[in-house]
């Protein structure tokens, strides 16, 4: 069994694979270099925030950004600056989940040339066993973890769509509410911006730590003690 599952594509790299890698790397690079910023548009966006079409626009932009591995979290923070936390969280969840699903299917489509190799690889078999609902929730909530990595890897691993969507809803609801609350308090209650965002990280870190501890304890002490089915000998 090949370790990374690429034995069948060593001789040639399909165009789908090249495009998938290019999209993912371009998204990560532009995110790290800070190519995208809402600061030049803050005043115009704030003036437009009272229009009925503005939340739909934010959701659409999040969908496109997440689908193309771009920093969709930018619009979570933007929503927090214009709307109360409950409304901003709803916008964040809808935009994040729809964009995540788009990225999920895009990764599936662009990796179709080497699906068989992935399924036969030892590394991906390990990842599939340890990328269920709870681990996906932890990664969604983890401060600073790129959502594009979650979306694309879930598509590559052919995770069950219902688990992917449910974990995205839970994770984005928690992170979205904490982030948008911090931004809203900063912009509307005249609190210190740097402290507001920094303080928002600690609740997320605590949630991740507690959830991760529960996941580790469950796997260490409970999974190994499941009762094995007994096989009754057949007569004769």
Angular region, 118: left φ>0, alpha ψ -120 to 50, beta rest: alpha
Return left, alpha or beta for 158; rule: phi > 0 is left, psi -120 to 50 is alpha, else beta: left
pLDDT for the residue numbered 3 = 46
- At residue 229, the pLDDT reads 47
Query: In this predicted model, what pLDDT tens digit does every residue of 110-169 receive, in sequence order?
Result: 887 766 666 666 556 666 666 788 888 888 888 778 898 899 988 888 888 999 999 999
CA distance 196 to 48: 25
Note whether 171 and 76 are within 8 A (CB). Answer: no
Average pLDDT of the chain to the nearest whole number: 77
In angstroms, the CA 94 to CA 56 distance is 10
CB 148 within 8 A of CB 104: no
Average pLDDT over residues 52-80: 91
Q: Which residue has the tokens 């690079």?
A: 29
pLDDT for the residue numbered 124: 63
Query: Is pLDDT larger for residue 232 or for residue 55?
Result: 55
Is the pLDDT at 93 greater than 90? The verdict is yes
Helix segments in the chain, DSSP class H: 15-32, 42-48, 53-67, 73-82, 85-110, 115-119, 122-129, 133-141, 147-156, 161-188, 193-221
Write the pLDDT tens digit of every residue in 165-198.
999 999 999 888 988 888 888 777 655 545 555 5
Q: Which residues contact 175 (CB under 8 A, 6 or more apart)?
A: 76, 140, 141, 143, 204
């Amino acid at each position: 069994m090949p370790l990374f599952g690429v034995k069948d594509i060593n001789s040639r790299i399909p165009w789908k694979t090249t495009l998938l890698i290019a999209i993912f790397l371009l998204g990560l690079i532009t995110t790290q270099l800070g190519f995208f910023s809402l600061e030049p548009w803050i005043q115009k966006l704030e003036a437009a925030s009272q229009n009925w079409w503005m939340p739909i626009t934010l959701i659409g932009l999040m969908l496109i950004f997440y689908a193309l591995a771009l920093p969709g979290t930018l619009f979570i923070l933007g929503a927090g600056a214009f709307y109360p936390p409950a409304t901003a969280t709803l916008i964040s969840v809808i935009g994040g989940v729809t964009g995540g699903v788009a990225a999920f299917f895009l990764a599936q489509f662009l990796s179709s040339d080497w699906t068989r190799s992935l399924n036969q690889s030892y590394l991906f078999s390990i990842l599939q066993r340890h990328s269920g609902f709870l681990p996906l929730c932890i990664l969604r909530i983890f401060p600073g973890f790129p959502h594009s990595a979650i979306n694309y890897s879930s598509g590559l691993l052919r995770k069950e769509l219902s688990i992917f969507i449910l974990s995205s809803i839970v994770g984005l609801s928690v992170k979205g509410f904490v982030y948008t609350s911090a931004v809203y308090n900063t912009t509307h209650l005249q609190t210190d911006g740097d402290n507001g965002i920094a303080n928002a990280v600690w609740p997320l870190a605590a949630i991740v730590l507690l959830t991760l501890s529960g996941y580790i304890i469950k796997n260490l002490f409970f999974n190994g003690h499941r009762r094995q089915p007994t096989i009754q000998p057949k007569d004769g």
